[in-house]
Structure 1
């Protein structure tokens, strides 16, 4: 018997981050070591308070948590935000199943089917998945590697706005690009959303990963759009707790929180034990975050230095998160990634990258680009870069230089 699938599910693409995993698994099964630069899974140790708090938890019945989230976790997040001069009340923060659910809930609350959100591309590939699940259209704002993936002009962004545009969705610091938006860029977006009666969904899960002494400003620090900003957050990267799946939504717009609470009630609650662990994580000393920042900046330096020494590779130095998007002198980044896993090695070791075409919405863009996640310890990262350089030199589909953006 055949099953009729919805247009919604058929329109979704496989994850560009995960779809090559079976090929990597096959390479490993043959004894090849794979350096994973394809996924943002930190190797930093999760603070021990997470598991300890769960071990110390004592309750005869693991009951449903409240739909908005554990009040203790909400209070811990409110205290955390005070350190960034953002002041929320308990009914302005909702706990979600990871930042992923937070993003989807935000778009569901703001958009009807057929509505649009503007997103700077390249963007976190799952923005496409989340939006297509609810029949919302992503309208790309194209940014370029040669310009450090900074935003285009105000006029260009406004030219993408239609009567169906409801919000601008963006990550800051940027995934996959590592861009940090300047205060001038943020002020420009502030003007745009006020002029066109829109919202900003600010994915700020990499807030602590800002380098070179740059000052980070949250969209939550712009008072003139306080009621238009929805902050998406997560413990995944900040505390190296990706598997905990604890995220949050924060907004000074109380009506927004009231509406999203309906969605929270519909899915009942977020897991109780993970909320206990996450509450403990928010009590982690800032020294932990300082050390993590220092470690990632060191890794960024190792990766960027190696990339700049690779003939034909184009990239600008990333200033935040732990990613960079590079243009490579290859005919097709996905073919290259597969070739590296199946046919290339140095001393039986190879490097896995994430082809970047899936991080774009505009057809044809990103075909010769890749996202690299510098989440390995420094010596492994250096090896991975040496292997990537050798692979680019040996690849049968190599071209003279990185093809300019279309």
Structure 2
């Protein structure tokens, strides 16, 4: 049965006959099946099977369409790369602007002494402008991203577009879109952080400037009417137990000192107490006093010596007193001239630190318990203390107005002296005017 149904495949090949002088036409090979008992010879030449022209044209058209589509997609991808590059550049510039704003904000130093002025207007750059710029840039990126999706996205639904290339483009566009959205989100977060940081910085700056304004106002009030910080005098017009001036600084431990001052007494014959220094356990650590029928006395650690100076004539005088713990030696100068020396005044006793220094009153307790009969009435100025003994030439130059030397321990400075009970700080006559009145 199988033998009856079997067929033999015979390949019939050849060239078609042609007329003499003509070139033989090309032929095609065709395979066909014949029964086993049939004659395999072909009495009739096999006819060539030609491909229809319409089918070939369709194939060519399809190939051209695919080629043109691929070229279009390449051009679209090139345009997308340029657009993405442009957007990436904008993002980089935004990040650079934000970092520059932060760096500039940390280097700002502000100071303004004018009352009623908006101090924040002096800032070299307003952070709000940076924040607004970031907001506009973020919105621009969002708009460009939407335009990119609408204008440059290829038609991936075209069936003629290769599926693998279509999927690859979709993935790339998705990744780029996610990157742009992440950048936009980061910029928005940084925008809010910058807003908070700007507000905190403004509040802190305003607080510092307000404090500076208050301090400047206080200093201006204190120095009002004085040509320089030491160009003033303390006036003590009444003999009371509540009118005095206080030196804000205290003394350190000292083994020698020089005290100099300009003084004009309004009392006679005694002048009272030009100054006193009291410490815990000893109210008479250093005292210069003249009361009753006694001469001017210098007390150190409650030990006393009389000084050969006379300044109760109502005129300006310059006095200096030196002392050293070594053998308790002392010197007294009036108007630049040495008036007397001595020794054995509280020898080997160091001046104690941390006490209270009062002008115009004698202290019976640290900082208080004044006695009106011992009060000084007059003017004091240029009260300076050094922790060493000044040479006589230096003292003479200070007294004759050829030098103005401030004390290295207690200098005569406006903001270092407080007046109480009616004592006042007034402008001081020039040094030459004081010499004329002496």
Q: TM-score, normalization: structure 1?
A: 0.18
Select the structure that is richer in strand. Answer: 2
Higher relative contact order (Cα pairs below 8 Å, separated by 6+ residues): 1
